[in-house]
Amino acid sequence: MSKHTFAIGGVHPHDNKLARDSRIEILPPAPTMYISVAQHLGAPAQPVVAVGDKVKVGQVLAGPGGFVSAYVHSPVSGTVKSIGPRPDLAGRPVPHIEIAVEGDEWMEDIDTSDNLVTDLPADNAAIIEKIHKAGVVGLGGATFPTHIKLSPPPGSKCERIIINGCECEPYLTSDYRVLLEKGEQVAVGAALIAQVMGNVPCTIAIEENKPEAIAHMREVVAKLGYKNIEVMELKMRYPQGSEKQLIDAVMHRQVRSGGLPISVGAVVQNVGTALAVYEAVQKNKPLIDNTITVTGKCFPKQVNLQVRVGTPFSYIIDSLGGMPEDAVKVISGGPMMGKAIANLDASTLKGTSALLFLTEKETRRAPESACIRCGKCADACPMGLEPFLLQKLSRIADTEALEANAAQDCIECGCCLYSCPAHIPLLDIIRTGKGLALGAIRARAAAAKAAAEAAKSSVIPSEAKESKK
Partner 1 sequence: MSKLLVSPSPHIHSKDSTRSLMLDVVIALLPAVLCSFVFYGWREILVMAVSVCSCLLLEWAITRFLLKKPSTLCDLSAVVTGILLGLNLPYTTPWWVVFVGAVVAIGVAKMTFGGLGQNIWNPALVGRVFLLVSFPTYMTTWSQPQGLFGVDAVTGPTPLGAINEGLMQGATVQDIMAQNGYDYGQMLFANLGGSAGEVCAIALLLGFVYLCVRRVIKPWITLSIFATVALTALIFWGVNPARFTGPVFNLLTGGLILGACFMATDYVTSPMSLWGGVVFGVGIGFLTMMIRYFGSYPEGVSFAILIMNSFVPLLNRAFHQKKFGR
Which chain residues interact with partner 1 by CB under 8 A? Answer: 7-8, 11, 13, 90, 170, 244, 248, 254-257, 259, 323, 328-331, 335-342, 344, 358, 360, 362-363, 365-366, 369-376, 378, 381-386, 388, 406, 409, 412, 414, 417-419, 421-423, 427-428, 431
Nearest Cα residue to 150 out of 196, 116, 216: 196
In the complex, what is the shortest distance from the CB of residue 420 to partner 1, in angstroms, rounded to a whole number?
A: 8
Look up residue 381 and give its DSSP letter. -
In the complex, what is the shortest distance from the CB of residue 123 to partner 1, in angstroms, rounded to a whole number?
A: 36
In the complex, what is the shortest distance from the CB of residue 329 to partner 1, in angstroms, rounded to a whole number?
A: 4
Query: Is the Cβ–Cβ distance between 33 and 99 less than 8 Å?
Result: yes
Pairing relation of β-strands 289-295 and 303-308?
antiparallel
- 262 phi and psi angles, rounded to 5 deg: -65, -25
In the complex, what is the shortest distance from the CB of residue 13 to partner 1, in angstroms, rounded to a whole number?
A: 6
Nearer to partner 1 among residue 125 and residue 396 (C-beta): 396
Neighbours of 425 (CB within 10 A): 14
First to last CA, the chain: 78
In the complex, what is the shortest distance from the CB of residue 293 to partner 1, in angstroms, rounded to a whole number?
A: 15
Question: Residue 82: what residue type?
Answer: S
Query: Is the Cβ–Cβ distance between 13 and 238 less than 8 Å?
Result: yes
Nearer to partner 1 among residue 218 and residue 253 (C-beta): 253
Nearer to partner 1 among residue 206 and residue 378 (C-beta): 378
Nearer to partner 1 among residue 128 and residue 406 (C-beta): 406
> Where does residue 224 rank: exposed (0-12), middle (13-18), buried (19+ CB within 10 A)?
middle
In the complex, what is the shortest distance from the CB of residue 257 to partner 1, in angstroms, rounded to a whole number?
A: 5
Sign of the alpha-carbon torsion through 440, 441, 445, 448: positive
Nearer to partner 1 among residue 83 and residue 316 (C-beta): 316
Nearer to partner 1 among residue 102 and residue 368 (C-beta): 368
Query: Is the Cβ–Cβ distance between 261 and 161 less than 8 Å?
Result: no
